[in-house]
Structure 1
Amino acid sequence: MSGPQCCTNPPTLDPNSGAGHVEKLAGLDTYIVGSPASNRAILLVSDVFGFEAPNLRKLADKVAGAGFYVVVPDFFYKDPYVPENVDRPLLVWLKDHGVDKGFEDAKPVIEALRSKGISALGAAGFCWGAKVVVELGKCGLIEAAVFLHPSLVTVDDVKEIKAPLAVLGAEIDNISPPELVEQFGEILAARTDVDGYAKIFPKVEHGWTLRYNPEDAEAVKSAEEAHENMLEWFAKYVK
């Protein structure tokens, strides 16, 4: 997780981006978009740059457009990682924002969604967020999981997850390299109790699904392909 790719192309955060709104959910500021009448919800767990990243909110809006109620909580309590802050490098920041804390904070979010009438729930995690999502999946709290350029996720995690899992990895990734993603795929292919697959996207780097340049057509195309794969997985299992 300490590799430089976690810190490249940081987004320009915008608290006003997206078509949704921010409200409290289980005590956390949460970007919410989609019909509250839907009984299907998707939890998006951000990378270290947090829930105000415009591309993340744009993706949340897209998922909502497919008929889901979408929530993107601020698991960092207004304290996302800032690469320019040389006094607080990533490993120091992570001490304040460990994935174990994210997992504990996610559980009441899920409880709140269930209390609203959500009967089917999927979760997608980006980088840091993938480790939170795998823990939710290991506890049986979600109906489907997607990892996008995960970090911190282990082979044992994938062996233990109880939710159908899609792993979307990058060819150029020193955090979850293709060899590891391939291992994830082999484990999922061998399991008979849960569906899953792993896919490696060529010529893209860690972070490509969120930290792409909207003016780079090839980058947008690769990101959107991953987004569509995620939506297809949720359409299959969150219903």
Structure 2
Amino acid sequence: MIRPILLSMLICSPALAPAQTLRLPFDGSGFVCQGGDTLNVNHHMAVRAQWFGVDFCRLGGPQGNLIAPAGAARNEDFFCWGTPVLAPADGRVHVVVADQPDQPLGRKDAGHPGGNLVGLDLGGGRWVFVAHLQAGSVAVREGERVRAGQVLGRCGNSGNTDFPHIHLHVQDAPEFGAGTGQNPMFEAVDLVLNGKRFDNVSWPLITGLFVAPHR
């Protein structure tokens, strides 16, 4: 019963483009904090260039299902903080921003929304951006060819962000914040939706999913 619901969601999506197939930008367990094609589940739908954008949080705690312990007050309290952020596909590094500070919790930098980021040219008129990287952690250079799964940097809290997490979106233009966001499809994913587990699937990600790369 889940696949027809998702199919309906995609048919109704604004300016639906052919999906770009990606791997998850991390190893281990994560949670989709923002994702989907409507504003009620994904705030990225308010910005045309970031349509279908996805925010990932890494998980931890005794049951492995927490974003941070109760009472978290620092970036370092979040399980995502400092964890490796991986290239979601093969591509050429199109742009790197690596000079932005991490924001303390409760402060945002709207003037530099992506913070420290890496943009990859995937070819075929598609560019993927991975943002909010930790200050001093970017591990690639512009012009470099990277492979899916290669470390791009570490999760931080730079830019216009509420707490440490990994932001990803695909555009049809090379400049960050330009053009129209494209719908990404993630492959080789294990996920849990409404208490049901699905292994090694290709899926568009929506808010509320627990996800991990298939092993």
Q: How high is the TM-score relative to the length of structure 2?
A: 0.30
Q: Higher strand share goes to which structure?
A: 2
Greater relative contact order (CA < 8 Å, ≥ 6 in sequence)? 2
